[in-house]
Chains A and B, each alone.
Chain A
C-alpha cells in the first residue's frame, strides 16, 4: 500500500545534487567525454543499446555516463528515453548475409568459405592485467592484408544443400511479426516474439540459462556453427518515393548455433538450430541467446519440458532487467503503512501465543 507522504523534497534535491557531485568525482581529473565512452568503452555502450533495445551509440554512452557505469541503470534510462520518440516505421529485415564482416568464426568447419576471421577478440589473450594500459602508451596500427570483400556465405547454408540441417525459421504465411513494445505478451509465444524478448534480455540471465543447458538442464548438444560480427544496412521503405533507402549501418552480432538432430517418421533426421542476433558487438550474448532460443523450442520438437531454460513463461517473464530491477528495487521505497499493518498483526499473534503458553505454564505448574 502506498500513501502520499510529504517532507522529502529537500532531502531528495540535496541527494541528487550529491549524486551529480559524486558522478563528476575529483575535479582535478578531466571529465570523461561521450566520444571517449563511445570509442574506449564501446562494449559497455553496445550492451546498453542491446538491452535498452535502442540503437544509438551516443545516447547509450550518455546513459552510461549519467548512470556512473551502472549498466542496468543506463539501460533503464535509455529505455525510458525510447518511449518519448515517435516511431517512423519498420525497417526492411536486415540481411546478415551481406554483412561487412569484422569477425567471423565457426567451430564446425575449419576451412569454411571465407575463412576464420578472428577480428578484434579477447579470445586467446591470457587474461593477465596489462600494466601498459596504466599509462597512455602508444598503440601500434593494425596489420593489413589483401581482403576478399565479397559476401560471406552463412555456415547454415553449407549443410542446407544436403538437407542435413533445418531451414531458417518460418512462421505461417499470414503471420505478422509480433511486437512486445506494442502489445502485452500472451503465452505461449511464437518464435519471433521470443527472439525479440531475448534480444533485449539481460545478458547475465541468458548466460546463466544457456550455461544450465550445457550442464544438463535441457541438454541440446550445441556447436557454434558460426558467429559473425559486422555492419549491416538498415533500409526503410519510403512510401512517398516508392522504394526503400538505406538509413545507414548498424553493427550486429549473429550466432548460428547448430544442435543435435531430430527426426520423426515424416522427417529424416537433421540438425536443429538456435539463433542469436544482438545489437553491437556481443558474442557472449548472441551465443547465450541462441542456446536459449533452441531450448525454448522444446515443445516444437516434442521434447520433455523438464528444465528452467525450456520454460517459456519463466524465461521470457524474467529476462527483462528493467522490469526485474523495477520490481526488486521498489522494495526499498517507503512501505511504512504496509509494514505497520504487518507489525500490528505479528504483535497480536504474539499476544495470542503468549496468552496460550502462559495458560500452559499454569497448567504445567498445577500438574
Chain B
C-alpha cells in the first residue's frame, strides 16, 4: 500500500476509534476532560445538539439480509472551533449535552496542541469500558455449565 493511503487510513481509524469511545464516555468523563483543557478554544454550534432516531437493523437468521428491527434514540451535534476544525458527536440516547461535548473533543483532536489531551481522555474511557466488559464477561463465565457424566453402576 502506498504510504499516503496508509497514513490516511490510520488517521481514519484513529478518528473512528476516538469518536466511538467518546460516544461511550459519561457526562462526568467528558466534563472532566473539558475542565482539564487549559487554553479552551471558542466553540460554535454548527448543527444541534439535537435528538432523533436511528432505525436499527438486524439480519434475518443472524447473518442474512437486513430487516428493520426498531428505532433507537440518538443525539448528535456538529461544532466548529474558532480555529476552523469541524467536530461531530453522535451517541445513543437523549443526552444532547454529551453529544455536544463529544463533538467538541472530535474537533479538538484535529488540533496538534490538543491531540494528546483528547487521546488521554479516549484511552481512559477505553480502559474503563474494557474493565466493565471484563467484569461482566467473568460474571457470565462463572455461570458456564461444566457437564460431567454420571458413572452408572451396571455391574
Asked if A56 is at the interface (CB within 8 A of a chain B CB), the reply is yes
Query: Which residues of B sit under 8 angstroms from A177, Cβ to Cβ?
Result: 57, 65-68
Name the residue in A119, A170, A177, A245 with the highest tally of chain B Cβ atoms < 10 Å from its Cβ.
A245
Asked if A156 and B72 sit within 8 Å, CB to CB, the answer is no
Which residues of chain A from 263 to 305 have a CB within 8 Å of any chain B CB?
A: 273, 275, 277, 279
- A172 nearest in chain B by CB position: B65
Q: Please tell me which stretch of A16-24, A247-255, A316-324 contacts chain B, meaning at least 4 of its Cβ atoms lie within 8 angstroms of it.
A: A247-255
Once bound together, how far apart are the Cα atoms of A199 and B56, in whole Å? Answer: 12
- B95 nearest in chain A by CB position: A58
The contact string, 1 if C-beta is below 8 Å from chain A, for chain B 79-123, is 000000000101111100000000000000000000000000000
| B11 vs chain A, min Cβ distance (A) | 11
Q: Please tell me which stretch of B27-35, B36-44, B128-136 contacts chain A, meaning at least 4 of its Cβ atoms lie within 8 angstroms of it.
A: B128-136
Query: Which residues of A sit under 8 angstroms from B51, Cβ to Cβ?
Result: 85
Size of the chain A interface, CB-CB below 8 angstroms: 84
Asked if B68 and A192 sit within 8 Å, CB to CB, the answer is yes
Query: Which residues of A sit under 8 angstroms from B7, Cβ to Cβ?
Result: none
Asked if A117 is at the interface (CB within 8 A of a chain B CB), the reply is yes
Query: Which residues of B sit under 8 angstroms from A50, Cβ to Cβ?
Result: 70
Once bound together, how far apart are the Cα atoms of A171 and B67, in whole Å? Answer: 10
Asked if B138 is at the interface (CB within 8 A of a chain A CB), the reply is yes
Known: A142-B142, A149-B133, A178-B67. 8 other contacts (CB 8 A): A55-B92, A87-B55, A97-B63, A117-B143, A147-B141, A195-B67, A236-B54, A250-B72
The 8 closest A-B pairs by CB, nearest first: A169-B60, A168-B61, A168-B64, A192-B67, A147-B137, A144-B138, A53-B70, A55-B72
Given contacts A85-B53, A144-B135, A195-B67, contact A56 B72 (CB under 8 A): yes
Asked if A358 is at the interface (CB within 8 A of a chain B CB), the reply is no
Given contacts A54-B73, A102-B140, contact A275 B60 (CB under 8 A): yes
The contact string, 1 if C-beta is below 8 Å from chain B, for chain A 83-115, is 001111111111111001111000000110001
Once bound together, how far apart are the Cα atoms of A241 and B65, in whole Å? Answer: 25
Asked if A248 and B92 sit within 8 Å, CB to CB, the answer is yes
Asked if A143 and B73 sit within 8 Å, CB to CB, the answer is no
Name the residue in B73, B88, B133, B134 with the highest tally of chain A Cβ atoms < 10 Å from its Cβ.
B73
Name the residue in B64, B67, B74, B92 with the highest tally of chain A Cβ atoms < 10 Å from its Cβ.
B67
Given contacts A88-B76, A168-B59, A275-B62, contact A246 B20 (CB under 8 A): yes
Asked if B53 and A88 sit within 8 Å, CB to CB, the answer is yes
- A143 nearest in chain B by CB position: B142
| A81 vs chain B, min Cβ distance (A) | 9
| B109 vs chain A, min Cβ distance (A) | 13
Given contacts A85-B53, A119-B143, A234-B56, contact A170 B137 (CB under 8 A): no
Asked if A82 is at the interface (CB within 8 A of a chain B CB), the reply is yes
Once bound together, how far apart are the Cα atoms of A196 and B58, in whole Å? Answer: 9
- B70 nearest in chain A by CB position: A53
Size of the chain B interface, CB-CB below 8 angstroms: 53
Asked if B150 is at the interface (CB within 8 A of a chain A CB), the reply is no
Query: Which residues of B sit under 8 angstroms from A349, Cβ to Cβ?
Result: none
Asked if A345 is at the interface (CB within 8 A of a chain B CB), the reply is no
Asked if B140 and A94 sit within 8 Å, CB to CB, the answer is no
Asked if A154 and B72 sit within 8 Å, CB to CB, the answer is no
Asked if A365 is at the interface (CB within 8 A of a chain B CB), the reply is no
Asked if B57 and A248 sit within 8 Å, CB to CB, the answer is no
Asked if A247 and B90 sit within 8 Å, CB to CB, the answer is yes
Once bound together, how far apart are the Cα atoms of A54 and B68, in whole Å? Answer: 12
Asked if A148 and B65 sit within 8 Å, CB to CB, the answer is no
| B49 vs chain A, min Cβ distance (A) | 12
Once bound together, how far apart are the Cα atoms of A109 and B2, in whole Å? Answer: 48
Asked if A256 is at the interface (CB within 8 A of a chain B CB), the reply is yes
Once bound together, how far apart are the Cα atoms of A53 and B56, in whole Å? Answer: 10
Asked if A146 is at the interface (CB within 8 A of a chain B CB), the reply is yes
List 30 A-B pairs, Cβ < 8 Å: A59-B94, A82-B53, A85-B73, A86-B53, A93-B58, A97-B63, A103-B143, A115-B144, A117-B140, A117-B143, A143-B139, A145-B141, A147-B137, A167-B64, A168-B64, A168-B65, A170-B60, A170-B64, A177-B57, A179-B68, A192-B68, A196-B68, A241-B88, A246-B20, A247-B23, A247-B54, A247-B92, A275-B61, A275-B62, A277-B69
Asked if B88 and A240 sit within 8 Å, CB to CB, the answer is yes
Partner of A246, one of B23, B57, B61, B145: B23
Asked if A65 is at the interface (CB within 8 A of a chain B CB), the reply is no
Once bound together, how far apart are the Cα atoms of A118 and B144, in whole Å? Answer: 6
Query: Which residues of B sit under 8 angstroms from A56, Cβ to Cβ?
Result: 72-73, 93-94
Once bound together, how far apart are the Cα atoms of A354 and B129, in whole Å? Answer: 81
| B98 vs chain A, min Cβ distance (A) | 10
Query: Which residues of A sit under 8 angstroms from B23, Cβ to Cβ?
Result: 245-248
